[in-house]
Amino acid sequence: MVQTPPPTALPAADTATTPVVAGYPGPAFRLTADLRVAEANAAAQELLDGDPRWLPDVLGWLTTSSVAPGLRSVPVQVPRGGMVIEWAAVPLGGAGTLLLGRDATLERQLRHTLTESRRRYKDLVEVSSDFAWETGPDGRFVFVTTRGALGYGPEALIGRDPHELAVEEWEDMPLPFDARRPADQAELWLKRADGTPACVVASALPLYDAQGQWAGARGVCRDVTETVTRSAELARVRNREKLLAHIVHTLRNRLDATEALAVAAAETARALGAEGCRIYRAGEDGPMTLAIDVGGDAAPDEIAPEALAPLLSQAAATDDPVLGILGSTRVLAARTEYQQAVNGAVLVWRGDYADPWDDEDRQLIGGVADQLGIAHAHWAYQERLRRLSERDGLTGLFNRRTFFERMEEQLATRETGPSALLYVDLDNFKAVNDLHGHQQGDLVLKSIGNLLTRGVRPGDLPGRLGGDEFVLWLGRTDEDRARTVAERLLAGIKTLSHLSASPEKPLGLSIGIAVHRPGTGESVQELTDRADSAMYAAKGRGKGNFAFAPPHIAVPTAAASAETMP
């Protein structure tokens, strides 16, 4: 067990921080294996500069915790007042521990205020028309509105398990009375005192004690049985609620966002009795683009994209689902949004032979749209992560790792003709940085990225290896085509002469070209080395040139040599 060092033995934090520590929005430390402060960001340094007596408490917690210690809330005194910091520890193996903090002061203050106002809350719910309740840690009622509910007096309900009130098919299902997360307008069936069923809509919030353990729940219920007049209509509502829960579960638990949206679209069409469902995403410039199309192959011509555009625009501009009739087709559309920003739409259609869309249809598609908005945000986040992992942050070209992975894939396919790799080095680039600064240098690199991507075909791969070195893979390309592209690049660099360091040191390109032929067994590394050597040959001719690498000489394998023996 590592001993907790006393406060006086703690060295000052190192001001040189890693990107994770420096970029964290709250206080962050990196501790050594013996729990000494190795790095601290500015927010963490403020805590150290205050009253540091909190730190031994945190270090003692770490020494007595398991590999995954969880969270720890600690009061801290700083010059601007008292704070409560919630700490999370991330073990770094032999490298020590990452300690990340979150300011939970306001949260604690609000919790204290809510505790003090509990009496006021009970007074208010006593005069409410709803049935208010609270359950304890054992799940039984500890508070019920004084007039009781469902024909029971409060004395008949307090101390009783709410599950005893549930009708048979609800007895073993999770109820709002033991909610572990907020529940809003959840519908359930309970038994009245006379044994008749009552349809109840419940909203609930879970309660937790100071140690974070579940301590019950509180909420309100409203008897809506009178509004449910026909059993067939009630069954329809309940089935749709279950379907919406299934859609929500699908969207939240499928890792592949596209697959989740496709399942949600199919289920939405089935639930609404629609012939098809389309899910749209809002682009950066605003217009909706089709993301998922279920049933579109059999869609009538009257719901062509140009006919739907006004309806989608109308849906994007209003909170409520929009109804439309296009020829003999009934259309229902609702916008999707995330954090109050519209990010798409969902649309269903069916023929006019079917019943018109009703309020239940609109409520269901509205509920689906709420969840699709979150799914769209998840999709966009996945796309952003994928782009960040594949692209160079400055030029938008493929980064080194992704470029060579894609090249490996291309070489692994069965090609029928030659391809070419252009290895491009920027001439006199260092002079730009030296004379005009890195901002001008970044502008040059971005311009080269645009030059490389101009006119590329599907399957071509422009990439940046790092610094001022670029590559361009040209699929299905022979020597003549590669020469044409190289000449285009050399002509294009001349249009960037205004970015040069000086007329004496103009920007230029030195290009090495290596033509790959299928069947030679040449690896990506061998091809790259040939193109690199050709680039240096071009640079040796005085820069601003291109040169072809000698053909690759295939080395026969042992099997091939055996086949040629007499």
Within 10 angstroms of residue 273's Cβ, the number of other Cβ atoms is 12
What's the rounded Cα separation, in Å, for the pair 217 and 128? 18
Exposed, middle or buried by CB within 10 Å (0-12, 13-18, 19+), for 59? buried
203 vs 232: which has the higher pLDDT: 203
Q: Is the dihedral of CA 30, 35, 38, 40 positive or negative?
A: positive
% of the chain with per-residue pLDDT over 70: 89
The CA-CA-CA angle for residues 240, 243, 249, to 5°, reads 145
Give the CA count within 13 Å in the CB-facing half-sphere of 42. 2
Phi and psi, residue 17, nearest 5°: -115, 155
Under the phi-then-psi rule, with left for phi > 0, alpha for psi from -120 to 50, and beta for the rest, what region is 295? left
Closest C-alpha to 101, from 86, 82, 91: 86
pLDDT at residue 491 greater than cutoff 80 = yes
Q: 3-state DSSP call for residue 365?
A: helix
CATH 3.30.70.270 domain residues, the chain: 400-548
User: Could you report the per-residue pLDDT of 318-352, keeping only the tens digit for each?
Assistant: 889 999 888 889 999 999 998 888 889 999 999 88
Domain 7-104 indexed as CATH 3.30.450.20: yes
Homologous superfamily of 400-548: Reverse transcriptase/Diguanylate cyclase domain (3.30.70.270)
* Rounded Cα gap, residues 352 and 357, in angstroms: 10
Polymer length of the chain = 566
Q: pLDDT-based confidence at 560, cuts 50/70/90?
A: very low
What is the mean pLDDT of the segment spanning 293-308?
86
Confidence (pLDDT) at 35: 84
**CA distances, 294 to each of 203, 344, 347, 373, 524 (Å):** 35, 16, 10, 18, 41
423 has pLDDT over 50: yes
What is the model's pLDDT at position 1? Answer: 39
Instruction: State mean pLDDT over 242-249.
Output: 76
Q: Evaluate if residue 459 carries a pLDDT over 90.
A: no
- Tokens 């359930």, residue located: 188
Q: Please, which pLDDT band fits residue 237 given cuts at 50, 70 and 90?
A: low
Tokens encoding 219: 């909420």
Q: What is the pLDDT of residue 462?
A: 94
Please choose, from the candidates 380, 271, 280, the residue with its C-alpha nearest in 3D space to the C-alpha of residue 334. Answer: 280
Helix axes of 257-271 and 359-390: crossing angle, nearest 10 degrees: 170
Residues pairing with 323 in the sheet: 332
Give ∠ CA 360-362-365 in degrees, rounded to 5.
Answer: 110
Give residue 360's pLDDT band: very low, low, confident or very high (50, 70, 90): confident
Q: Are 281 and 338 in contact (CB under 8 A)?
A: no
Quote the pTM value.
0.42
The answer to whether residue 525 scores a pLDDT higher than 90 is yes
For residue 45, pLDDT over 90 is answered with no
Per-residue pLDDT, averaged over 210-217, amounts to 91
HEC string for 209-258: CCCCCEEEEEEEEEECHHHCCCHHHHHHHHHHHHHHHHHHHHHHHCCCHH
The 10 Å CB-count burial string (b at 16+, else e) for 482-518 is beebbeebbebbeebeebbbeeebbbbbbbbbbbbee
The mean-pLDDT minimum among 62-76, 213-227, 455-469, 489-503 falls in 62-76
Domain boundaries 234-386, corresponding CATH code: 3.30.450.40
Question: How confident is the model over 105-145, as pLDDT tens digits?
Answer: 888 788 777 777 766 766 666 666 578 899 999 999 999 88
Has residue 559 got a pLDDT over 60?
no
Q: What integer pLDDT is reported at residue 404 of this predicted model?
A: 92
Backbone φ and ψ for 556, nearest 5 degrees, come out as -65, 140
Q: For CATH 3.30.450.40, list the domain ranges present in the chain.
A: 234-386
CATH number at 117-229: 3.30.450.20
pLDDT grade for 287, boundaries at 50, 70 and 90: confident
Q: Is the confidence at residue 11, as pLDDT, over 60?
A: no
Out of 103-107, 243-247, 509-513, 557-561, pick the least confident: 557-561
Instruction: Summarize the confidence of residues 272-298 as an average pLDDT.
Output: 85
The per-residue pLDDT for 12 is 44
3 state SS of 276: strand
65-69, 155-159, 491-495, 541-545: range with lowest mean pLDDT: 65-69
* Residue intervals in the chain for CATH 3.30.450.20: 7-104, 117-229
